[in-house]
Amino acid sequence: MKIVKVEHFFPRQRARLVKITTDNGIVGWGEATLEGKPKSTRAAVEELADYLIGKDPLRIEHHWQYIYRGAFYRGGSVLMSALSGIDQALWDIAGKHYGVPAYKLLGDAVRDRIRVYAHWGIGSMTDEGKAQARERLEALQKQGGYSVFKSGPGGKWRGHEPPAMIDAFVERAYLMREWVGPDVELAFDFHGMMTPALAIEICHELKGMRPMFVEEPVPQENIDALKLVSDRVTFPIATGERLLSRWEFREIFEKQAVAYIQPDASHAGGITELKKIANMAEIYYMHIAPHCAIGPVAFSASLHVDAVVPNFLIQEQTDWVMGSGLLKEDWRVKDGFVELPTKPGLGIEIDEKAAEQNLDIYVEELGGEFYHESDGSLVDW
């Protein structure tokens, strides 16, 4: 079996898909979405296709090593996202070749279903804002029976903010707790927007509601700053959606900087690397809560690692990762869980007509011109 074609499609705003076809007709799908830089991975996939054509798709580890180590410059978000999509597609091919879900080839499942969380919050304390929040909460509880929700402070944060801004977020957070009760878990994503001092101050205000975790309290580049926050907060801190490969997680592990890590199957190196990162985390007693806020192929790839690693905690899930018109059958959430895939490969059937579309336009997201109104200075993403 040989690879004969590598293609790249952009059918949805947050879904750049890689399609790999073999000479015996097996097709594998992966997702190489890179939020904020959607055009960049296309060129990277095209370059890597030159290497892949004519190769045996089942030599997944060999191809991973070549793509990562075979050029002078390694890593970076563009190459790692392209590698991730290719790796997922190769696992999809391998599972279809052997007639089993990909997780069977990774050592088989250590759990029977995968716990997921949904995004929900109270964006405004106006009557209209609270009514909208209540409506979404009731819909999520009815549709999926979720027991974990994640929200965030929103807005534009500077090095420090007045009590009114901090208190407004804290008030919304405690109202969320009041609405869902103590049996439901709540997490908060700071999106790396805070300084260590501000993050610590806000976390101390939240500790009475006992969050499941606070995610990315500070930017990801400085591990010591992250540990500074973690050491001064009484509940778990999480990070990792913007860290790429074992090498970038190494310092997190060695310094015990967080409780949970959040690698992304479409950024950190695909299924192959996500499992290795999780295995490294296990010896430090860290659990994984994989990030996924892009498309359904990335979500599907994540589930296979979630199934096989003992230190899995929970899987991120957004509305559009469940199918988004790209799958013939959407993923379903019941009582806050997704059942293990049963079909070969990634366990999904792609609607190829929908998947092979290409958007003609790109709307800026997770970056671009985003400034503080007060002085015109740039806001962090």
Contact present, 239 and 229 (Cβ < 8 Å): no
Cα 198 to Cα 85, 179, 321, distances in angstroms: 37, 26, 32
Q: 176, 184, 171, 170: which is closest to 117 by C-alpha?
A: 184
Q: Left (φ > 0), alpha (ψ -120 to 50) or beta: where does 349 sit?
A: beta
Cα diameter, the chain: 64
Tally of CB atoms within 10 A around 177: 16
Q: What is the dihedral of CA 66, 71, 75, 77, to 10 degrees?
A: -100
Catalytic residue among 97, 287, 291, 304: 291
Q: What is the DSSP string of 10-59?
A: EEETTEEEEEEEETTS-EEEEE---TT-TTHHHHHHHHHHHHHTTS-TT-
Catalytic residue among 63, 191, 267, 287: 191
291 given a catalytic annotation: yes
Contact present, 248 and 221 (Cβ < 8 Å): no
Contact present, 286 and 260 (Cβ < 8 Å): yes
63 given a catalytic annotation: no
CA distance 168 to 85: 40
CA distance 42 to 33: 9
Tally of CB atoms within 10 A around 253: 17
Give kind and range of the element (H or E) at residue 308: helix 296-308
Q: Give me the amino acid identity at 96.
A: K
Q: Give me the amino acid identity at 3.
A: I
The residues annotated with a catalytic role in the active site are: 191, 291
